[in-house]
Structure 1
Amino acid sequence: MSNWLDEMFAPQKPVIAMLHLTALPGDPGFDSRTGLTAVIERAKEELDALQGGGVDGIMISNEFSLPYLTETEPITAITMARIIGQLLPDIQVPFGVNVLWDGRASIDLAVATGAKFVREIFTGVYASDFGLWNTNIGEVARHRARIGGSDVKLFFNIVPESATYLSGRDLASIAQTTVFATLPDALCVSGLTAGAPTDSQSLALVKAAAGTVPVFVNTGVRAHNVAEQLSVADGAIVGTYFKKDGVFENRVEKSRVEELMSEARAFRSTLH
Structure 2
Amino acid sequence: MNDMNQHPTALDRWRGLFPTPKPVLAMLHLGGDGPAEKVARARAEASILADGGVDAVIVENYFGDSDDVRRALEAVCADAPTTVIGLNVLRDHELAFALAEEFPVGFVQLDSVAGHLEPADDDEYAARLAERRSSSRALVLGGVRFKYQPVRSGRTEAEDLALGAQRSDAIVVTGDGTGMETAVSKIERFRAALPSGFPLVVGAGVTDANAAEQLRSADGAIVGSFLKDTYRDTGVVDAAHVARLMDAVAAVRSAR
* TM-score of the superposed pair, with normalisation by structure 2: 0.87
Query: CA-to-partner distance for each residue in 1:50-99, whole Å, 9 max, x for gaps?
Result: 1122111111111114xxxxxxxxxx434422321121132211111000
SS of match in other structure, 1:87: helix
CA distance in 1, matches of 2:162, 2:56: 27
The residue number in structure 2 matching 1:85 is 74
Aligned residues: 241
The residue number in structure 1 matching 2:181 is 197
* Matches for 1:177-188 after TM superposition, within 5 Å: 177-179=163-165, 182-188=166-172
Say whether the 8 Å CA contact 1:190–1:218 is kept in structure 2: yes
Identity %: 30
The residue number in structure 2 matching 1:69 is none
CA distance in 2, matches of 1:216, 1:17: 12
CA RMSD of aligned residues (A): 2.0
Q: 5+ residue gaps in structure 2?
A: 5-10
CA distance in 2, matches of 1:101, 1:192: 18
| Cα deviation, residue 215, structure 1 | 0.4
SS of match in other structure, 1:156: strand
Alignment match of 1:5 (pick from 1, 4, 14): 14
Say whether the 8 Å CA contact 1:77–1:109 is kept in structure 2: no
Q: 5+ residue gaps in structure 1?
A: 24-30, 66-75, 128-132
The residue number in structure 1 matching 2:8 is none
The residue number in structure 2 matching 1:246 is 231
CA distance in 1, matches of 2:92, 2:178: 17
SS of match in other structure, 1:161: coil
| Cα deviation, residue 126, structure 1 | 5.1
* Matches for 1:126-205 after TM superposition, within 5 Å: 136-145=125-134, 148-149=135-136, 151-179=137-165, 182-205=166-189
What residue identity is the alignment partner of 1:112?
E
The residue number in structure 2 matching 1:52 is 51
Residues 1:95 and 1:161: Cα distance change in structure 2 (over 3 Å): same
Say whether the 8 Å CA contact 1:110–1:152 is kept in structure 2: yes
Say whether the 8 Å CA contact 2:77–2:104 is kept in structure 1: no
SS of match in other structure, 2:217: coil
What residue identity is the alignment partner of 2:41?
R
SS of match in other structure, 1:216: strand
CA distance in 2, matches of 1:164, 1:243: 28
CA distance in 2, matches of 1:185, 1:56: 17
